[in-house]
């Protein structure tokens, strides 16, 4: 059975119990009819697809912002600073996983806006373009360690 495609996944409609067959893509495709993060979202509407793309873009920018911002003041209580650092890390990882899961929809538009969001986020928060002064090499630019996916 090597030439048989995988069966379409059945999605249960909560209103009348009917099944809708949706193909899950295993390669990149272009189009607005994609399932991104949640069942039935964004649907078949072009407007909802654009909103989904903006949402993924903003999530990617937020991941970069959390990766490069300093929230903890020097000299703060170690326990409180550690708890804040842990909470920020958990939020950053959760948002990064959401971006990853969105890209796993294999929609070309979602992939492009995810990369563009990380690009813009790094440009604004991580690169030297918007920094006022040159930091000495020993000074940390973020409270969190770098992401490793």
Q: What is the pLDDT of residues 41-60, one digit of tens each?
A: 888 889 999 999 999 999 99
Average pLDDT for runs of 10 along the chain of length 149: 49 49 74 86 90 97 92 82 91 96 94 97 88 63 57
- For position 53, what pLDDT does the model report? 96
- For position 80, what pLDDT does the model report? 86
- For position 78, what pLDDT does the model report? 85
- For position 61, what pLDDT does the model report? 97
Q: Among 87, 90, 96, 37, which Cα is nearest to 62's? A: 96
- For position 35, what pLDDT does the model report? 87
SS3 12: strand
């Amino acid at each position: 059975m090597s030439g048989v495609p995988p069966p379409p996944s059945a999605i249960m409609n909560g209103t009348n119990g009917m099944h809708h067959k949706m193909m899950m893509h295993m390669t990149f495709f272009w189009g607005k009819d994609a399932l991104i993060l949640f069942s039935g979202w964004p649907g078949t509407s072009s407007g909802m697809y654009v909103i989904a793309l903006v949402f993924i873009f903003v999530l990617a920018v937020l991941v970069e912002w959390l990766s490069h911002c300093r929230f903890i003041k020097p000299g703060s209580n170690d326990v409180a600073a550690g708890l804040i650092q842990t909470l920020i890390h958990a939020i950053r990882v959760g948002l990064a996983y959401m971006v990853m899961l969105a890209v796993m929809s294999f929609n070309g538009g979602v992939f492009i806006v995810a990369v563009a969001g990380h690009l813009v986020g790094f440009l604004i928060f991580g690169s030297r373009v918007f920094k006022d002064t040159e930091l000495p090499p020993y000074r940390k630019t973020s409270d969190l360690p770098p992401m490793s996916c």
